[in-house]
Structure 1
Amino acid sequence: MGQRMQAAGGCLIAAVGAGAGLGLWTVDFQGRFYRFEQSPDWRVLYAELPLAVLGGIAAALGLWALWTVVRRRRT
């Protein structure tokens, strides 16, 4: 696989990971944003959202790197 294909694959995997992190973050968003019928908890947006997206990216790229290493050892 060429370097351009590897770079494109890494970018695609990062985008998929960001989407997965965002998708997992939206689960029960209303319950976390309005806790105990109080005012909105803005930490959900400015702390949890970026961490979920970055965590999804990191997990996806980690799995991609592991898959690349395993595939290279087989050949």
Structure 2
Amino acid sequence: MGQRMEAAAGCLAVLGGLGAGLVVWAVRAQGRVDRFEQGPDWRVFVVELPLCALGGVGAGALAGALLHRRFRARRAAPPGP
């Protein structure tokens, strides 16, 4: 794989992780944003949204790095008999 393809794959892995983090946040925060006869819970936006987004980005970056190492090791190995 060329360097551009590796960079694109890494960017896609990070964006996929960000999307997954936002989906997890949306599912978890569904009923807590507006509660009955109460004001909105701003901690959902101020604390949990950035944590889920950063966690997703970190997970995507880790997955991209692990895949890169695995394919690099496979490519560098000498061919079998």
Q: Structure 1-normalised TM-score?
A: 0.82
Secondary structure at the residue paired with 1:30?
coil
Q: Any conservation in 1 of the 2:22–2:53 contact (CA below 8 Å)?
A: yes
How many equivalent residue pairs? 75
- Structure ranking higher in helix proportion: 1
Pick the structure with greater CA Rg: 2
Shift of 1:3: 1.1
Corresponding residue for 2:48?
A: 48
Distance across 2 between alignment mates of 1:45 and 1:67 = 32
Distance across 2 between alignment mates of 1:42 and 1:16 = 26
Shift of 1:18: 0.6
Q: How well do the aligned residues superpose, as a CA RMSD in angstroms? A: 1.8
Percent identity, aligned pairs only, is 55
Distance across 1 between alignment mates of 2:61 and 2:68 = 10
Corresponding residue for 2:20?
A: 20
Q: Any conservation in 1 of the 2:33–2:42 contact (CA below 8 Å)?
A: yes
Q: Which runs of 4+ in 1 moved over 6 A?
A: none
Secondary structure at the residue paired with 2:40?
coil
Query: Which segment is superposed worse, 6-15 or 35-44?
Result: 35-44
Q: Which runs of 5+ in 2 are unaligned?
A: none
